[in-house]
Structure 1
Amino acid sequence: MRIRLDLSYDGTDFKGWAVQPSLRTVQGTLEEALATALRVPSVRVVCAGRTDTGVHARGQVVHLDIAPESLTGSSGRRGDSPMEALARRLNGILPPDVHVRRALEAPAGFDARFSATWRRYAYRVADDPALVDPLVRSHVLAWPKPLDLDAMNTASRALLGLRDFASFCRRREGATTVRTLTELEWTRDETGIAVARVVADAFCHSMVRSLVGCLLAVGDGRRPPEWAAETLAGRRRNPAVTVVHAHGLTLEEVGYPEGAELAAQAERARNTREAMDD
């Protein structure tokens, strides 16, 4: 059977999502906890989006495949459903910087990575000394100059749509840098923090942090709004674009279709990635 887990984590003390020998990673920590909770030798999980070192998640989604008897055999005697029992056991094993929000049996055709139709990230910036709070220093970037969000949004609109984001990505050999960016908008939250809402079908390595770095240069007046479109048109990594720190970035939510479209989307996405990436 396939299980879906929704989880949150503080990425500060992790070396990113993906398992790496001798390093503390979110995937490695979760898989160890799952093996203990399910009383099996090992478990492998697949996530919706592999976050980099220091990046946080509020809405990460993963799936794992296990034998049904492994789930029922580890449920305990409290009367919880097997899924409720799994989430409870995991949260009792996991460290405080990872939390399973829910566990449920995945519908037919579900794939945490390939069934996803969009991912939503937020990047948070404190651009006023009065907004800099040491208590959230691991989640909000402190910026030394005030930002003009109108100019940043003007620049952002030129980046929307199906584009080649090679100018904003760290290339991998043979991998595509073409993505569909559906939302890129800056607003201020109730405290005054500048927040970028970034939504795309998928993201390539360092894409969001590079986009934010480009737009911060527009917002603090170092570059005109047109610079974002000019950089995009170059289709090669621009050394003038700063890749901002990871700690301001959070994976907020992942979107999936319903019903039969889950399997259809997974097949389309898998075929596309195999043809263009691997």
Structure 2
Amino acid sequence: MRIALGVEYDGTDFLGWQRLTHGATVQGALEQALSRVAAHPIEVTCAGRTDAGVHGRCQVVHFDAPVERDMRGWVLGACSNLPASVAVLWAQAVPEAFHARFAARSRRYRYAILNRPVRAALDARYVTWERLPLDAGAMHAAAQALLGEHDFSAFRAVSCQAAHARRCVLGLQVRREGAQVIIDIEANAFLHHMVRNIVGSLLPVGRGQRPVAWPGELLAGRNREAAGPTAPASGLTFLGPRYENHWQLPAEVSA
């Protein structure tokens, strides 16, 4: 039986999603917990890998269960064997054709910036601090040049292993909520560090150091060295993928 899970995690203390031979990863912790529930080795496939320090609101994974357990058993059993920073939100049987990565029609990220003179205490693990005032309206206007399908080489990490840099950004909004500036972005897929590099190029616009047209010019130039720095991982959360309704997954990950 193929099973899909929704997984929430605080990525601060992990070396990223992907299992490694050294150090703690979210995938490693989840597979270890599920293997204990099943009393059999289990490997999972995720909708989108996240980097060290990046959080997940509803990562989706699938695995082929070697034993029968009810869905509540998978959820509670996994949670009881996971560290406090990881939780399985739900489990659901899915058709054999379902694939957490390839069935996803899009992925969504949120970047949170605490924009005030004083650094964060309570939210320090989940935001990036910017002490200079930011113009969220200017950042939003600048971001609209990135909508649609483009070559995003200007916002691609040197270490990116994707076959090409063409991606389609379906939505990109910047707004202020009190002391925070929130950046929401949805795309069919993302390049390595793409969101953080986009944020790093919107921040100078928000500070008034660059014109609104600058991110669009960077996009057209396709030169990573000309763009802004990579924003810190702490402010980034993978909200989750979206799937077609016919998979009948929970509303938070359905189109």
Provide TM-score, normalisation by structure 1. Answer: 0.85
Gaps of 5+ in 2: 250-255
Q: Relative to 1, partners in 2 of residues 1:162 and 1:148: Cα closer, same or farther, differing over 3 Å?
A: same
Q: Relative to 1, partners in 2 of residues 1:180 and 1:44: Cα closer, same or farther, differing over 3 Å?
A: same
User: Counterpart in 2 of 1:22?
Assistant: 22
How many corresponding residue pairs?
248
CA distance in 2, matches of 1:118, 1:15: 24
Question: Which secondary structure does the structure 1 equivalent of 2:238 belong to?
Answer: strand
Q: Quick check: 2:94–2:247 contact (8 Å CA) kept in 1? A: no
| 1:85 shift after superposition | 1.1
Aligned partner letter, 1:71: E
Q: Relative to 1, partners in 2 of residues 1:117 and 1:173: Cα closer, same or farther, differing over 3 Å?
A: closer
User: Counterpart in 2 of 1:110?
Assistant: 98
User: Counterpart in 1 of 2:80?
Assistant: 92
- 1:71 matched to 2:59? The reply is no
User: Counterpart in 2 of 1:271?
Assistant: none
What is the Cα-based RMSD across aligned positions, in Å?
1.7
Aligned partner letter, 2:37: A
CA distance in 2, matches of 1:65, 1:124: 35
Matches within 5 A, 1:106-145: 106-129=94-117, 132-145=119-132
1:233 to 214, 220, 234: 220
CA offsets 1:83-137 (integer angstroms, 9 cap, x no match): 011101111110100000001101352110010011111000011126x430110
Higher helix share: 1
Aligned partner letter, 1:64: F
4+ runs of 1 displaced by more than 4 Å?
Answer: none
User: Counterpart in 1 of 2:10?
Assistant: 10
Q: Relative to 1, partners in 2 of residues 1:173 and 1:105: Cα closer, same or farther, differing over 3 Å?
A: closer
CA offsets 1:232-274 (integer angstroms, 9 cap, x no match): 0111312541101000000112100133899xxxxxxxxxxxx
Question: Which secondary structure does the structure 2 equivalent of 1:61 belong to?
Answer: strand
Q: Relative to 1, partners in 2 of residues 1:222 and 1:62: Cα closer, same or farther, differing over 3 Å?
A: same
CA distance in 1, matches of 2:87, 2:248: 29
Query: What percent identity do the matched residue pairs reach?
Result: 41
CA distance in 1, matches of 2:161, 2:176: 38
Provide TM-score, normalisation by structure 2. Answer: 0.93
User: Counterpart in 1 of 2:56?
Assistant: 57
CA distance in 2, matches of 1:238, 1:230: 13
User: Counterpart in 2 of 1:247?
Assistant: 234
Gaps of 5+ in 1: 73-81, 263-278
User: Counterpart in 2 of 1:270?
Assistant: none
Matches within 5 A, 1:153-232: 153-171=140-158, 172=160, 175-189=163-177, 191-232=178-219
Question: Which secondary structure does the structure 1 equivalent of 2:122 belong to?
Answer: helix
The structure number with the bigger radius of gyration is 1
CA distance in 2, matches of 1:207, 1:52: 11
Higher strand share: 2
